[in-house]
Amino acid sequence: MSKGLSAQQTRFLVEFLGVTMPTGADASGAEDQATDAQGLREMIDGYLSTLPGDIRALAADDAGLAQKLAKDLKAARAAYQADDLTKAFRQLDACADALTAARSASATAKAQEVIPEGIVAKNVQALELMQSQWKTSRLRSLKGLGELTKTLSAEADNDLNDIGRRISALGKDLPDGLSRALTTAAKAAKAGDTDSVTRAKNDIASEIAAAQQFLNTNQTILKRCEENPFKIEVQIAGPVNDTLKALLTSLANI
């Protein structure tokens, strides 16, 4: 362990897993940076795989905003191609925030329309909103872990570098089966397949339970991340758990 660490950093190191972890003899700054960049690329790729379709869908309700977000998405792609990962992620994260707000307002308005297919439409919109809420909550959590990983990887201490790699791995373990379950449920609801909707709802409940179990199992580590002495904003346990509870409430009304 480096003697250049502050008291807070040393305490973080010692308390992270309750023990002082062994120094990785083969750790290198280049490897740490590569690990961090790969994690950021995975989050960017996740955004790029979902945002285009979401923006196209938004055009039916708000063509102006959809056009703006499409331009922002194009700019983010350019930044990504230029290997400016931080800029690309921030632009995509802003797009996701704007999209979530717009879809929430649209879903609320449409759910209030009195039409023969009102119940089906309401359920589809509720499931799509749940999907958006979960994506946003999960990605924001991963963003905080990614920034903490980057900071730890830049420290001139092999033990902190090792913690950074562990935190990066922790982020990848955050369950995401819930996204697939919500997508399946929304498709079934659109098709009016009540039996499939029922099965999908059970899958959603199971995936929510799995995510809650992840938070419970890793609560000590997550707390250490949130209380890190590097002033990196990491919010996982509380916000993600609140989102999961909100999803359960919404699920009960479908």
What distances in angstroms separate CA 101 from CA 47, 76, 108, 167, one per listed residue?
A: 16, 20, 11, 30
Residue 223 clears pLDDT 80, i.e. is over it: yes
Average pLDDT, stretch 146-168? 87
Alpha carbon distance 135, 92 (integer Å): 13
If you average pLDDT over each of 19-33, 113-127, 210-224, which comes out highest?
210-224
* pLDDT, position 71: 95
Residue 13 contacts residue 5 (beta carbons within 8 Å): yes
Alpha carbon distance 122, 244 (integer Å): 20
* pLDDT, position 212: 94
Average pLDDT, stretch 140-154? 89
- pTM of structure: 0.59
What distances in angstroms separate CA 17 from CA 152, 159, 212, 215, 223, one per listed residue?
A: 15, 12, 20, 15, 11
Residue 20 clears pLDDT 50, i.e. is over it: no
DSSP calls for the chain: --TT--HHHHHHHHHSSSSPPPP-TT--HHHHHHHHHHHHHHHHHHHHHHHHHHHHHHTTT-HHHHHHHHHHHHHHHHHHHTT-HHHHHHHHHHHHHHHHHHHHHHHHHHHT---TTHHHHHHHHHHHHHHHHHHHHHHHHHHHHHHHHHHHHHSS-HHHHHHHHHHHHHHHHS--HHHHHHHHHHHHHHTT-HHHHHHHHHHHHHHHHHHHHHHHHTHHHHHHHHT-TT------HHHHHHHHHHHHHHHHT-
Residue 170 contacts residue 140 (beta carbons within 8 Å): no
Residue 32 clears pLDDT 60, i.e. is over it: no
pLDDT digits (tens, 9 = 90+) for 65-107: 999 999 999 999 999 999 998 899 889 888 888 887 776 666 5
Residue 179 clears pLDDT 80, i.e. is over it: yes
Confidence of residue 195 (pLDDT cuts 50, 70, 90): confident
If you average pLDDT over each of 20-24, 34-38, 92-96, which comes out highest?
92-96
Residue 100 contacts residue 136 (beta carbons within 8 Å): yes
Alpha carbon distance 222, 217 (integer Å): 10
Alpha carbon distance 61, 59 (integer Å): 5
Residue 19: how many other CB atoms lie within 10 Å: 9
- Chain-wide mean pLDDT for the chain? 80
What distances in angstroms separate CA 23 from CA 127, 141, 237, one per listed residue?
A: 46, 27, 28
Domain spans of the chain?
A: 29-252
